Structure 1
Amino acid sequence: MDERKPRANSGRPSSRPSSSGRPSSTGRPSSRPSSDRPSSGRPSSSSSSRPTGPNRERRREDLPARGGSSDRAGAIRQVSQGREAIDPRGFRPKPLERDQSRLRPRIFEPDIPEEITGEELEKSVRAELLSLSAENAKVVARHLVSINIHMDSDPELAHKHGIAAAHHAGRLAVVRESAGYAAYRAGYYEIALKELRAAHRISGDVSMWPVMADCERGLGRPLKALNLAGSDEVKRLAKPEEIEMRIVASGARRDLGELDAAVITLTCKELKTENEEWAVRLRYAYADALEVAGRKAEAREWFKKCADIDHDEFTDAAERAQ
């Protein structure tokens, strides 16, 4: 019978239950006779002192230090690259430098006159800013008002206000859309396209589709403009945006040298319309396409028809009709 004594108390309760099914009150393992224990298959005490395993023939001093081989990757401490070797917390490499590209850059924010409060925005637009903090919403609203004020008189300044607004509220569709239109009017077509695409992803609104197509034209990609003009989204456009898309598609045909196709693109029943705001632009674009295609007489006729409904002299149709 194995007369080995129970191990001394290690200072922690045993996780093995006693013979009664309850943990031992002393915190020591049960001292049941060895005959009650299942056979572990371990060698007897007479043979346990002999080393076993793959290193049994090697001397103890030839074996690697406890913790693994000293030639494994990362095992040799280099004090110059981390804590000192005597540091009780152990070795730790230097922290990696922070990726500066992920830091939010500071931007230039144009000054806003004090008289601009943000209340000048339409109620529906202000409602979309309610997800922002009150302070941030006011800043964004003032930038949006500034975009509207400077869009025609100073497109470059309006574009800067658009950048600032998108910096403060880049997850709002109305902000990205306004920034896109401001960039478009300033001639920054790549930026405008990025902003308008973002607005479309957020809201699903397709009303900016014609401007996106014209941005592709501005970047010298008329085929991409035509792809947008032929997409399914165009079917969801309201009449004013549908007419704008026709005008952009006609311009893309002209960019490709397809002058007759440019005229055909604008040949539609809406040319007879007189009392809509888009009617002036449609007639003017049609007359211009006729002139470029070499159909001078027809072009003068349509310039005159355009001048007849252009009461505010929005175009120079009257002059070109002469």
Structure 2
Amino acid sequence: MLPDEATLGQLDPELKRELNSLPKSLADLVGKHVVAAGLLLEEAPERAYKHAFFARRKASRVPGVREASGVAAYTVGKWQEALADLRAARRMSGRDSFLAVMADCERGLGRPERALEVAGDPAAKDLDPAERIELRIVASGARRDMGDPKAALAELRIPELKERRARPWIARLFYAYADVLVELGKMDDAREYFARASSVDREGVTDADERLAEIEGVELVDVDVEDGIMWSDAEDPASEEDEAPVGAEPERPSEDEGRERN
């Protein structure tokens, strides 16, 4: 059943043009299912996959439909199916936008070497910044899969590590770099890059705040919109003065103290 909010007005313009090759009634139906898949992808990935799979059965020769189906399959961990759909979509459209997803599917299938082959595709240099950085993050993950964290760190040493603008993909890059530094035992550097990730992560795409708190040995207790993040010491219990046992008698002053008060 299609969600009420799934309308053709939300359809990507390029996909709408591709659907013109179909009879109008079929194009409208397929288009609504693709929109539904996109709307449900994060909150209900299994439902999103069902909508995308339906669209694929009805219009498997439309590149944008195969892309939507591939992404939905990837989201629910159907690596081989996702890879097949995205390869087909790339052949039909010539678009390289999903190289990072394809490489990560290879990782999911236990083939990090093939993931690195995808990451080394010459077309990668022409990707937009977000896609290119995501591909480097996947390549770094593949190196870690192969037990080589030093090479994983090298994959992420790209010019964007000097970036300071708040962008989701920059936050993900800083976070991935920090995570590898933790594996290498370089905690001071890891602290720096988790802090950088936190400072540019306006959309909450990482848990950099929590990872930074873990390194600092403090606990994230509140997030205030105006004042920012508040921390408390995760190790120090409340002092006896602040938290006296219930029913305990107050400490009596010494004779000297009593004389001074009088």
Judge same fold: TM > 0.5, yes or no: yes
Distance 1:115 1:235, change over 3 A: closer
**Structure 2: tracts of 5 or more residues without a match:** 214-262
Q: Deviation per CA, 1:217-246, whole angstroms, max 9, x where unpaired?
A: 011000000111112222232222111111
Which residue matches 1:25? Answer: none
Measure, in 2, the Cα distance between the counterparts of 1:123 and 1:200: 18
Which residue matches 1:235? Answer: 125
* 2:45 corresponds to which of 155, 159, 174: 155
| 1:115 CA drift (Å) | 5.3
Which residue matches 2:139? Answer: 249
Measure, in 2, the Cα distance between the counterparts of 1:117 and 1:283: 37
* 2:197 corresponds to which of 269, 285, 306: 306
Measure, in 2, the Cα distance between the counterparts of 1:209 and 1:238: 12
Larger strand fraction of residues? 2
Overall identity of the aligned pairs, in %: 45
Measure, in 2, the Cα distance between the counterparts of 1:271 and 1:114: 43
Structure 2 residue 146 is matched with structure 1 residue 280? no
Using the size of structure 1 for normalisation, the TM-score is 0.63
Which residue matches 1:271? Answer: 161
Question: Contact 1:210–1:241 at 8 Å: present in 2 too?
Answer: yes
Using the size of structure 2 for normalisation, the TM-score is 0.78
* 1:177 corresponds to which of 62, 67, 81: 67
AA of the residue aligned to 1:172: V
Which residue matches 1:198? Answer: 88
Q: Deviation per CA, 1:139-158, whole angstroms, max 9, x where unpaired?
A: 10110111011100011111
Aligned residues: 212
AA of the residue aligned to 1:255: D
AA of the residue aligned to 2:46: E
Measure, in 2, the Cα distance between the counterparts of 1:131 and 1:308: 46
Measure, in 1, the Cα distance between the counterparts of 2:4 and 2:192: 51
**Higher RCO structure (Cα 8 Å, ≥6 apart):** 2
AA of the residue aligned to 1:241: E
| 1:320 CA drift (Å) | 1.4
**Structure 1: tracts of 5 or more residues without a match:** 1-110
Which residue matches 2:19? Answer: 129
Which residue matches 2:100? Answer: 210
Measure, in 2, the Cα distance between the counterparts of 1:278 and 1:170: 31
Which residue matches 2:232? Answer: none
Question: Contact 1:119–1:141 at 8 Å: present in 2 too?
Answer: no
AA of the residue aligned to 2:188: A
| 1:116 CA drift (Å) | 3.2
Which residue matches 1:260? Answer: 150
Q: Residue 312 of structure 1 aligns to a residue in which SS? A: coil
Distance 1:112 1:201, change over 3 A: same
Which residue matches 1:143? Answer: 33
**If you compute each CA radius of gyration, which structure gives the higher value, 1 or 2?**
1
| 1:114 CA drift (Å) | 5.1
